[in-house]
Structure 1
Amino acid sequence: MSRLAVAALALALGACASPPPQDRANAPEGTPTPTVCPKAVASIARCFSGHDSAGAYYLIAMPTQWNGHLVLHAHGGPALGTPKPERSVEDLERWAIMVKAGYAWAGSTFRQGGVAVRAAAQDTERLRQIFVTQVARPQYTILHGQSWGASVAVRAAEMFTATADGKRPYDAVLLTSGVLAGGSRSYDFRTDLRVVYQYLCGNHPRPTEADYPLNIGLPADAHMTQADLQARVNECLGLDKPQAERTPEQQRKVKLITDVIRIPASSIHSHLSWATFHYRDVVLHRTGGASPFGNQGVRYSGSGDAAVDAALNAGVQRFRADPAALARFAQDTDPTGRIPVPVLTVKGVNDPTAFVELDSVFKATMDRAGTSGHLVQTFTQHSGHSYLSHPTYPTLMAALLRWVNDGTQPTPASIARQCPALEARFGKGCAFLPDYRPAALNTRVPDRERP
């Protein structure tokens, strides 16, 4: 779907929206309004949209050949700023495979932008209630979290374990490309990137600009834009040029970052953006003005030259996470593992955004909670993050439904065996690695002192 078409559809959704969130704080939920479906599912589904009582937009797709089950989607990101209906349109387009496989699909924009996990979990549960009371009653509801949305789905599954009639709101959880180590650990490497970048480039901030602690992202009154940041990154690293056209000094700096932070050059800007704008959002709006991010005690290595590593460790700025801010951020974002229903995860082993090693932390969390019997983790050969392949997701959904329906717990091997049978319907793309086990997170992201 073109950006113009997405915008047009979003306008249609917005046109049927109710008054702004501040006027609807205690309002009852309105009836979802029939709307035009995105092109990807227009021929196979009916769509409904609305604006919930907390201010979130949502979009629902009901396939004409419905299998009776609902996929309740928690999106990745998160975006900053005021939610817009385009978000759910784009999500449905990306996850059209669920509707094509026969599942009803429902996705919320969430009521607010930024890193607010528990609030997003509440918005997701609110959408489930809207679907159940005003659209249809599914046989099973699968809670699907993608990327950052995986942390939202985990928190929702922990927070909402029974409805008023004593039934479980979610029958199972699917976590894809998930950020699963909680806010207290998942973003450490971005803090490391921020200080290493500044050590090498010295332009974020520039020497002529007011200094500030890098672990706050940006000061509240800073006027930097994404374009400004991109320009500074290109100025220092030449990421807007092919590698061969970068200066030797730019090549040296890029190599040092990729070797030490262990991310590809193509993702330096996106991670640095997160450590700039999202960090500011966290500090200003989630943790009371103090930063939960720190790098005290980190030993940076990986350049292959002991002298270079030593100079780096001596030269980077050091910051200690504020104890109260870290505790507050962890309370909102860190999973407890107390999930009473089956959980199935998938992660590409070369995911450049949500490292595969994060999954080892999530398994340890489930182990500590005594719920490891509810967890099956799978891994694939894919190197993408936002979407792996068409047959991957129907395969996982089918395995989850068998687990819920008759108690047959899948294994990574059984899922890998079942995937090829779905390629005839959904296209090629099976790449499960049934024997893969992720290493510990600290083999990739160095440990640090924590309050």
Structure 2
Amino acid sequence: MMQQDLGIEPRGRGRIRAGKLALALCGALAGLTANAATTKPGDAPGLVDVSGEAAPKPAPCPSDLPDTVTCLSGQDSAGAYYMIAKPRDWNGVLVMHAHGGPTLGDPKLARAQADLKRWAVWPRNGYAVAMSSYHQGGVEVHAAAQDTERLRRIFLRDVGKPRLTILHGQSWGGNVGAIAAELYGTERDGGKPAYDGVLLTSGVLAGGTRAYDFRIDLRVVYQALCHNHPLPSEPQYPLWMGLPPDSTLTKEELAKRVDQCLGVDHPRAERTAAQQQRLDTLTRVIGIQEDKVVSHLNWATWHFQDIVQHRTDGKNPFGNIGVRYTGSPDDAKLNAEVARYRPDPQAVAKLRADTDPTGKITLPELTMHAANDPTAFVEMEHTYHDIVAKAGRSEHLVQVFTSDHEHSYLTDADYLAAMGALLDWVEHGHKPNPQSVAQRCQAGAPYDPPSECTFLPDYHPAALETRSPARGG
């Protein structure tokens, strides 16, 4: 989603093993040269022509992967870097991974390398996997979906034809995956859709016009309490802007300001009474954890700046008209002091067109979300359920939940059970339910490396409005 996922170490990893350079495909890949792809970034989605793409080259595998896995890397004509991993005992299933974040700045191979390391669960268990860094930094969902599709076709051309292809979207990549499933789920590719099934984990599935509401709330409540983002001595700007285009504020400086106001970098015993009261107020009103305040503020600063400056033509897509903030010692005072903003209709329309799912899904789709996700609220699953139901496609959607308090990675056991249930649905028409997925997970134990099942088969998320209030125009 939402915060950048790069560099967070997951739980449940096995012992580290040395990776090797992949040599098996050298001869087959040697003769191809790079040319521009026929489909340019931003074009209407369709069948992507990769005939002019450079072939991937052998690359070192992350240390988490066994020596029996072959890794490849490359950069496509749009500028996206990518990594591919294929086990020697490939089960014929290709997992196309859409990563979260999104990362700001220019694309880097390190992004795809880090994702392959984190999602080593797939090649360790027989799946081939491919992941793109995306060619653009920032919040651009359709472009990321197209980069993922371009990589899928490179895999087909240069690596092999999978028996099945599963689209896996994680975090903000869940938004990318949901959109990609709508764009390419009905595209014909040799008589079949581009993808056979969709797995969305910890997904930002409410769409940009709802998923980011709580972050504009965070900005206005934080400023009412702390008055230091911006400082009174700095040029003032509307908080929906994130930052002015010429701002030189760094993440380190913002973290220092947050600590000065809230004491988040200090144990509770070392905070002043005023710091603790402000921190308690902020976390109660916004509904976030103490240790996530800085990361959410980062998103509501630099990612908001990206959205406004690069996606909505400098216009405001965020608003809080009609929102009543509760949970402070004096709600009347707080609501009188917070800044109020009315979104620009054109900006909202542009954000909606790029980020909001329509729910018109045609493929088997399974979502998995931690009930206590501190970053992408689980209540967004309720919104997505309603979007799909309104589109009349509920028969294509199954949602399962876990007891984790994590966002970036849950457990190997849960991922493998979810994937197995999705494949059974795709191949045999056995549509799963939360109970059957939980049972499948328990039946697969013991896992190597050891990993626990954390499914909550009877859990149902509340409406997003209980966490992030609805707002007027």
TM-score range, shorter chain: over 0.9
Residue 273 of structure 1: SS of its match in structure 2?
A: helix
Matches within 5 A, 1:239-388: 239-303=264-328, 305=329, 308-388=330-410
Normalised TM-score (structure 1)? 0.93
**1:166 Cα offset (Å):** 3.8
- The answer to whether structure 1 residue 445 and structure 2 residue 468 are counterparts is yes
Runs of 4+ in 1 over 6 A off after TM superposition: 18-22, 24-27
Shift of residue 444 of structure 1? 1.1
> 1:292–1:326: 8 Å Cα contact kept in structure 2?
yes
CA contact (8 A) 2:216 2:300 kept: yes
Cα deviation digits, residues 330-362 of structure 1 (max 9, x gap): 000000111110000111100000101000000
Q: In structure 1, what residue type is equivalent to 2:427?
A: N
Separation in 2, partners of 1:167, 1:411: 26
Counterpart pick for 1:223 among 248, 252, 269: 248
Give the equivalent residue in structure 1 for 2:445: 423
Q: Tell me, yes or no, if structure 1 residue 122 matches structure 2 residue 167.
A: no
SS at match of 2:107: coil
Distance in 2, matches of 1:322 and 1:44, equals 54
Structure 1 residues 267 and 223: alpha-carbon distance in aligned structure 2, compared to 1, 3 A threshold: same
Check whether the contact 1:73–1:107 (CA below 8 A) recurs between aligned residues.
Answer: yes
Q: Match for residue 75 of structure 1?
A: 99
Q: Which structure has more helix as a fraction of its residues?
A: 1
Residue 383 (structure 1) shift: 0.3
Tell me which of 84, 87, 91 is aligned to 1:60: 84
Q: Decide which of 445, 449, 456 is 1:433's aligned counterpart.
A: 456
The answer (yes or no) to whether the contact 1:44–1:100 under 8 Å persists in 2 is: no
Any idea what SS the aligned residue of 1:391 has?
helix
* SS of residue paired to 1:446: coil
- 1:155 pairs, out of 176, 179, 191, with 179
Amino acid at match of 1:445: S
Aligned to 1:413: 435
Per-residue displacement from partner, 1:8-28 (whole Å, max 9, x unpaired)? 99xxxxxx9x98999x96982
SS in structure 2 of the partner of residue 266 of structure 1:
helix
Pairwise CA distance, 1:164: 4.5
Cα distance in 1 for residues equivalent to 2:224 and 2:167: 42
Matches for 1:40-119 after TM superposition, within 5 Å: 40-119=64-143
Identical residues among aligned pairs (%)? 53
Is this contact kept in 1: 2:97–2:132, CA < 8 A?
yes
What secondary structure, in the 3-state scheme, does the structure 1 residue paired with 2:412 have? coil
Cα distance in 1, alignment partners of residues 250 and 51 from structure 2 = 36
Cα distance, 1:284 vs structure 2? 0.4
| TM-score, structure 2 normalization | 0.89
Question: What corresponds to 1:200 in structure 2?
Answer: 225
Is the 2:317–2:345 Cα contact (8 Å) retained in structure 1? yes
What amino acid does structure 2 have at the position aligned with 1:411? Answer: N
2:46 corresponding residue in structure 1: none
Partner SS state of residue 39, structure 1: coil
TM-aligned CA distance change 1:130 to 1:283, over 3 Å: same
Aligned residue number for residue 404 of structure 1: 426
Deviates further, 424-433 or 435-444: 424-433
Query: One-letter code of the match for 2:173?
Result: G
Is the 1:192–1:261 contact (alpha carbons within 8 Å) kept by the matching residues of 2?
Answer: yes
List gaps (5 residues or longer) in structure 1.
10-15
Given that 2:218 and 2:286 are in contact with CA atoms closer than 8 Å, whether structure 1 keeps it comes out as yes
Deviations 1:405-447 (A, max 9, x none): 1100001000111102323123232010001001111011111
Residues in 2 aligned to 1:19 and 1:221: alpha-carbon distance in whole angstroms: 36
User: Shift of residue 372 of structure 1?
Assistant: 0.6
Structure-1 separation of matches of 2:443 and 2:51? 48
How well do the aligned residues superpose, as a CA RMSD in angstroms?
2.3
Q: Residues 210-269 of structure 1, C-alpha deviation per residue, up to 9 Å, x if partnerless?
A: 110001100001111111111111111111111111111010010001111010010000
SS at match of 1:425: coil
Match for residue 132 of structure 1? 156
SS at match of 1:429: coil
CA contact (8 A) 1:27 1:53 kept: no
Shift of 1:65: 1.5
User: Matched residue of 2:446: which SS?
Assistant: helix
Contact 2:85 2:130 in 1 (8 A): yes
Q: CA deviation at 1:316?
A: 0.4
- CA deviation string 1:177-211 (max 9, x = no partner): 00000000000001000000000000000111111
Aligned length: 438
152-161 or 422-431: bigger deviation? 422-431
Unaligned runs of 5+ residues in structure 2 are: 1-6, 9-15, 21-29, 41-49
Distance 2:353 2:433 in 1: 32
Distance 2:209 2:368 in 1: 22
- Distance across 2 between alignment mates of 1:21 and 1:75: 24
SS for the counterpart of 1:114 is coil
Give 1:49 shift: 0.5
* Post-superposition CA distance 1:2-44 (Å, at most 9, x none): 99x9xx99xxxxxx9x98999x969821111011111111423
SS at match of 1:279: helix
